[in-house]
Chain A
Amino acid sequence: MRALLVDITKCIGCGSCVAACREQNRLPVPADGSWPSQPDAQNFTVLKKAAWKGEEYNYRRLCMHCLTPTCESVCPVGALRKTAQGPVVYDESRCIGCRYCLQACPFSVPRYEWTSLEPRVRKCNLCEARVAEGRPNACAEACPTGATIAGEREELLKTARARIAAEPEKYVSHIYGEHEAGGTSVLFLSPIPFEKLELPAGLMAEPLPLLTFRVLSKIPHLVATGGALLAGVWWITNRRQEVAAAEAAEKEKQP
């Protein structure tokens, strides 16, 4: 399964990934080549700066491509889907625009075309077409320092572990995305706390969809027992009324 490994220690903030992403997804490019402070409907990835102990670091924001995506589970019409090859992709033709994916995403990734009359949800698609052809992702291919590399998830996890083991003083001893929200296809290595990279701390290691599935899975039982219970209650009260009516009639007969 395709994944990306982003190593913050290697990022020089050149913006090649942003430019490559725009080209790949045919997104508009401003005259000065700049990008906004957060991803939006026309920028699936952006570069940002984080300050920590007097040093400045560059980091990327993009869709995490969860292994069990929250967006996929919450979409009422199945417009979001995790493919076997790794990308979490969006099917515009199904979307009704309820925006539950925006609300539910633990990484607050999906964006909406707010001013459009036929609005779409927009986000990184992990270069679905490239992945299908076996080519590297556009951002990884464009990265001059290897700060973003593409590969099989298992391989990238091994690489990440090896890097931490080789230079433990350089990294926080944690691969973000190995377990967060049940694991993601985009992995981060960082020299500074992950919260500084806008990656939420304290996310559960289980996939979030379990939270709702525990409740939804009880529905069939609720319907069956509820229906039986209601029928029973109706029968008892109805019978009681019939008996009362019959007794009243009986009394009237006997003077």
Chain B
Amino acid sequence: MLIHCTMEELVSIRDGEGSAAARQHLDACDACMEEMERLHQRIAHLKALPAFEAPRDRWPEVERVVRGDRRKRYARLIGWSSLVAAASIALLVGLRGFSVAADDPSKEVAQLIEESQHLESMLRAIKPSSRVMNGRMASAVVQLEDGIELIDETLEELSRRRRNAVELEQLWRQRVQLMDALVTTHAARTASYVGF
């Protein structure tokens, strides 16, 4: 009785494997040889299938996520600088005692740092990297994140030299505004994502 090669044997032989008996049978059997030719043809047709093009450009979103990573790393670094800045301001306020005026820029800066940290924690709670957004929104988010990064760099630079409380206040105020816009953008997206 003639036992033909199974598909598993044919696939193995094509891969340069397969038992000696199966190879021997293939060499002597026209039907199995024809089957092997069909297998080759099928694979050739699979390889010739056309490539697909992604319907949308995903680069803006990829860039946004990667920039977010960098910003988080940077925020961890700047976090220490912020704490040091906050501690110095607290010390300064403490030394001046209760005579400090309500609109003292040092006190303002301390509040702004606190507000900025609160917004950072809100943003973490939203988990912006876990959701897909469209290209226009991704681009807006990238711009906001770039602005924050620039401010962080300036703040870091400022922490190395003699601090100017007014300049600090302006920078932290801008940072809070940008952070707030970023949180609002992500929150709006989250709301539309869950169908509000």
The answer on A and B forming one complex is no
Interface residues, chain B, CB within 8 Å of chain A?
A: none
Interface residues of A (CB under 8 A from B): none
